[in-house]
Amino acid sequence: MQLKPGWNPRLLRSQNYIARLLFIARGLLALAGGLPAGPGAAKDHDLALRLAAAIGTSPVHHVAEVLYHTRVEYQPPASVGESTAAAIAAHLAREGLPAGVEPIGPAGPYRIDWRFDAAPRVAVIIPFRNHAALTRECLDSLLGLTAYPALEVLLIDNWSDEPGVEAFCAEAARDDRVRVQRVEEAFNFARLNNHAARQTDAPLLLFLNNDVIIRQPAWLRLMVDELLADPLAAAVGNKLLYPNGAVQHAGVVLGVGGIADHAFRGIGGEAPGYMARAICAQEVSAVTGACMLCRADAFAAAGGFDEADLAVAYNDVDLCLKLRQAGHRIIFTPAAYAEHRESMSRGSDFDSLHEARFFFENETMRQRWGELLAADPFYNPHFSRTGGIYRELSAASVKPPGTA
């Protein structure tokens, strides 16, 4: 069974998740150039890509019910895979986007190799308190491995009081790419990031936790390219892996486990996941602020992170929803990855000191976004929102025939 997401033009460039059941207005079909020729699977994909270009930002309705069945054991020949790659490449050429197309598997899905020359300046914002050794490892990996030419770092020391932090900050500041600022106030993750964002005129902001370790030279180039490819994209998240190589973050799904949860948490870092969505670039409702690239103008227009009511938890999800409300897109790209030692410096939201704050932030999100939390457009409603993501069906979907 393939329980599909709603309309997702970025996912469509990775795979033909729509397949064959598609209702099209006659006039729109003519606008898209009519029915294309070629092998079946490639022809279907080519048509869907032409339709996506023809409608632009017009809405597409997703019928989430299971309407037909097909043979899942069928595997298309390699020639069809080549034709599908050619259809994607032709679509990108029509859109004026410089790129190559590479299959991830024998017959897809596909990864787009963007070939942009532009390298807009990126300000990487890293708040931290104490944990000098961990923050040094984060910074050293960022500066030593990242292959991106236009980079600056704002290192925000939130009132550290442990030995070694002062020496670390002095050492870090000797690099011309790094600015260190000390903020002497109670921990408010949202305010720290907002403060840092106001200290730079870089067109792109990269919010980075100090427990993220860079493991890939091209990670930032790959994330920037997703913004360059789509003027409506305002934020991009990457794949984050635990130290053991399992997935920690592959996009955020709304409403699961309460407010939101990370997709594909715990599967292997290269595992395809449900419908290969763990290895496909796609639009999502939100990405984690642990490693989020954002257009500075869109961030400012959305009011930045909510430092009044979401000081620590869910301010990243809230920001993404504000950006989507303003007409922007949020993109997840698994081609870019890094290691995340989740919340090593922040600690747990469920200890006695943080529990009241966490439940207040939960209630803030429910009051503000409750309707959206119940209906993530990129997560099929037949999946459970109480169990693991893509692992269990909702109770309504598994009732025996004839029951109410």
Q: Which domains does the chain have, with CATH numbers?
A: 9-103 (no CATH), 122-373 (3.90.550.10)
CB 76, CB 107: distance < 8 Å: yes
Q: Of 88, 92, 74, 103, which Cα lies nearest the Cα of 38?
A: 88
Q: Of 117, 136, 329, which Cα lies nearest the Cα of 221?
A: 117
Residue 404 pLDDT: 45
CB 142, CB 155: distance < 8 Å: no
Per-residue pLDDT tens over the stretch 152-178: 999 999 999 999 999 999 999 999 999
Amino acid sitting at position 22: L
Per-residue pLDDT tens over the stretch 66-93: 888 876 555 555 556 788 899 999 999 9
CA 288, 48, 271: angle at the middle one, nearest 5? 40
CB 267, CB 278: distance < 8 Å: yes
Per-residue pLDDT tens over the stretch 244-280: 999 999 999 999 988 999 999 999 999 999 999 999 9
Residue-level pLDDT, tens digit, the chain, 404 residues: 789 999 999 999 999 999 878 889 889 999 899 887 655 668 889 999 999 999 999 989 999 988 888 765 555 555 567 888 999 999 999 999 999 999 998 778 999 999 999 999 999 999 999 999 999 999 999 999 999 999 999 999 999 999 999 999 999 999 999 999 999 999 999 999 999 999 999 999 999 999 999 999 999 999 999 999 999 999 999 999 999 999 999 999 999 988 999 999 999 999 999 999 999 999 999 999 999 999 999 999 999 999 999 999 999 999 999 999 999 999 999 999 999 998 666 555 656 557 899 999 999 999 999 999 999 999 999 999 886 789 888 876 655 555 44
Residue recorded with tokens 């409603």: 381
Angle of the 315-325 helix axis to the 355-373 helix axis, nearest 10: 20
pTM of this prediction? 0.94
